[in-house]
Amino acid sequence: MSEDRRQEDPLEEFLDRRSPLSSTYRDASADRPPAVLDEAILAASRRAVRSGPRRIGWARKWGTPLAAAAVLVLAVAVVLNLEDDPQIAQFKETRVPPAGRSDAGAKVKSSEPDAAELAVGKREEKAKTRDREAEERSAFVSQPAGPPGDARYYIGPVAPAVPSPGKRNQAPVESATAPKVGAAAQSVREQVAAPSPVSKPAGTEIEDGVRSDSLASRRLEEKAAELDEAAALRKQSAAAPSAATPGAAETRIEQINAHYAQGRTEEGDRALREFCRSFPAYALPEGLRGHAGRLGLDCAPRR
Amino acid sequence: MLAYRDGEAGAFEALYARHRGGLYRFVLRQCGSRASADELFQDVWMNLIAARNRYVPSAKFSTFLYQVARNRVIDHYRALGRNLEDPEDDEDPLDPPAPPESQPESELERSETAVRLLAAVESLPPLQREAFLLHEEGELTLEEIAQVTGAGRETVKSRLRYALTRLRQTLEDLR
């Protein structure tokens, strides 16, 4: 046992590199490879690095594809956000080309019902706000109801002098607003009929107050009439074939031609005027151009 | 080595500078001839350069390097019709080391102790010599030597013990 320990000790000493044998060996053994070998090996290592396939790190390998993917994701997210923005939708709506010019225009329009609905919804909301304001104003007779109370202005392009091309395809959507316009007119009429709290000052009758009361009532009646007219026009436009419907213009042209052929000139003129308002960019057939010129309509401007 | 694998030539130069002396002496003492040592040494490094793309760090680099060198030495032994891993070599050597007169002339210029010691190392049985050199030149631990040689830890310890006994005997004879 003790012999084993004595035998173990030099080994432990050697393994710890404290042995005199180790130091003697290190002093004695100083051989080095020849310089020629060094140069050959180092040159080969450099050559291999230059010519061999260079392995690149993870970051360098995946950095570019990852960056491209991130940019793509961001771009898609931004585009989707823009699509949802009602302002952008309204802007796009106004840029839609006229229906009569190309089929591509019709395709674009048919692919954008959501944007049109959004825009119409926004206008309806505005119209409701304006109606509410009009109601409030009617309560205070000293404040006259101004032009912003015009329902046609707020509700949408019911029958504008020259409707914008993008608005023509909204007829089916806007027809849903017609009852609301009628309801607004009814509410205005009820307000006119109902005694105003301001117009009946308690215990006193002031002549100016009575005069302003009657003036306000007249204005409210006028407003109710305008709202009725707007609702009627909406119903009419909803009933009429839409400009977005293929063949709608042709059908109306045929109707106009029938009016003129049967001698109903007044009806023909009225239908032609409406047609030119609805289809300002439509190229009229030869037979109707004369009537349009007689009526001073510039339905299909030639370039 | 990973840096060199990834294309840094400077990393290889640093590795080479650190291990060139020890590896060269390991090969030289194992094969006994400077010409063969030069050839084996160059082969080991060239193999390393060629296989750099397949290098996967599974152990310390020095362990890996000496394993490659050992395999090359075994091939050399086989080419000479000898067997490095002869079990009989594990036996305690009884023959004295070769006298200094049998060594090359250049070694005579060194001190007598150094020459005798080197001669004694070269005359050790191959497996004992291998264990001794892996510790002295490769600075490997018992476990690392066992890993390189594929032997058990106690076997390596035993080989080292035999080698030390013989070498110490040589040194004592000189006093």
Tell me whether residues A15 and B160 touch, CB distance under 8 A. Answer: yes
B155 vs A2, higher pLDDT: B155
Half-sphere CA count of B147, side-chain side, radius 13 A: 17
What does the pLDDT read at residue B92?
47
- On the question of pLDDT at A216 being above 70, the answer is yes
Chain length of chain B: 175
Q: Give the ranges where chain A is alpha helix by DSSP (H).
A: 2-15, 20-28, 35-51, 58-84, 86-94, 103-110, 113-139, 151-155, 171-174, 178-193, 207-239, 248-261, 265-278, 286-294
User: How much is the pTM?
Assistant: 0.44
Domain ranges of chain B: 1-85, 93-175
What chain B residue is nearest to A9 in terms of C-alpha separation?
A: B161
Note which residues in 53-92 of chain B have CB less than 8 A from chain A: 53
A64 vs B175, higher pLDDT: A64
A221 vs A99, higher pLDDT: A221
Chain B neighbors of A10, CB-CB under 8 A: 164, 168
Q: How many Cβ atoms sit within 10 Å of the Cβ of residue B53?
A: 12
Tell me whether residues A57 and B6 touch, CB distance under 8 A. Answer: yes
Distances (CA, A) of A116 to A94, A98, A172, B47: 10, 15, 11, 73
- On the question of pLDDT at A147 being above 50, the answer is no
- On the question of pLDDT at A78 being above 60, the answer is yes
Interchain CB contact of B13 with A (< 8 Å): yes
The most confident of A174-178, A292-296, B161-165, by mean pLDDT = B161-165
Tell me whether residues B42 and A32 touch, CB distance under 8 A. Answer: no
- On the question of pLDDT at B166 being above 50, the answer is yes
What does the pLDDT read at residue A13?
82
State in words which class domain B93-175 has. mainly alpha
Domains B1-85 and B93-175 share a fold: no
Q: What are the tens digits of pLDDT across the range B83-92?
A: 666 554 544 4
- On the question of pLDDT at B95 being above 50, the answer is no
Tell me whether residues B113 and A28 touch, CB distance under 8 A. Answer: yes
Name the residue facing A49 among B7, B136, B161 (closest C-beta): B7
What chain B residue is nearest to A24 in terms of C-alpha separation?
A: B114
Tell me whether residues B114 and A49 touch, CB distance under 8 A. Answer: no
Specify the residue for token string 């091939």: B75
Least reliable range by pLDDT among A95-104, A170-179, A182-191, A258-267 = A170-179
Interchain CB contact of B43 with A (< 8 Å): no
What does the pLDDT read at residue A71?
94
Chain A neighbors of B111, CB-CB under 8 A: 28
Tell me whether residues A28 and B20 touch, CB distance under 8 A. Answer: no
A74-99: average pLDDT: 75
pLDDT band at residue A191 using 50, 70 and 90 as cut-offs: low
A94-103: average pLDDT: 55
B92 vs A232, higher pLDDT: A232
SS (H, E, C) B26-60: HHHHHHCCHHHHHHHHHHHHHHHHHCHHHCCCCCC
A81-95: average pLDDT: 73
Min Cα distance A1 → chain B (Å) is 16
Min Cα distance A54 → chain B (Å) is 6
What does the pLDDT read at residue B118?
87
Instruction: Mutation target for B interface from A3, A8, A13, A45: give the one with most B CBs within 10 A.
Output: A45
A162 vs A193, higher pLDDT: A193
Q: Which CATH number fits domain B1-85: 3.20.20.370, 1.10.1740.10, 1.10.3720.10, 3.30.390.50?
A: 1.10.1740.10
A268 vs A303, higher pLDDT: A268
ipTM: 0.79
A118-124: average pLDDT: 64
What does the pLDDT read at residue A201?
46
pLDDT band at residue A100 using 50, 70 and 90 as cut-offs: very low
Chain B neighbors of A11, CB-CB under 8 A: 157, 160-161, 164
A242-262: average pLDDT: 78
What chain B residue is nearest to A37 in terms of C-alpha separation?
A: B42
DSSP sequence for A38-80:
HHHHHHHHHHHHHHSPPP--HHHHHHHHHHHHHHHHHHHHHHH
The mean pLDDT value of chain A amounts to: 68
Pull the structure tokens for residue B133.
Answer: 């050199």
Tell me whether residues A22 and B136 touch, CB distance under 8 A. Answer: yes
Tell me whether residues A38 and B113 touch, CB distance under 8 A. Answer: no
What does the pLDDT read at residue A106?
45
What does the pLDDT read at residue B10?
79
What does the pLDDT read at residue B155?
93
A69-90: average pLDDT: 84
Chain A neighbors of B118, CB-CB under 8 A: 25, 28-29
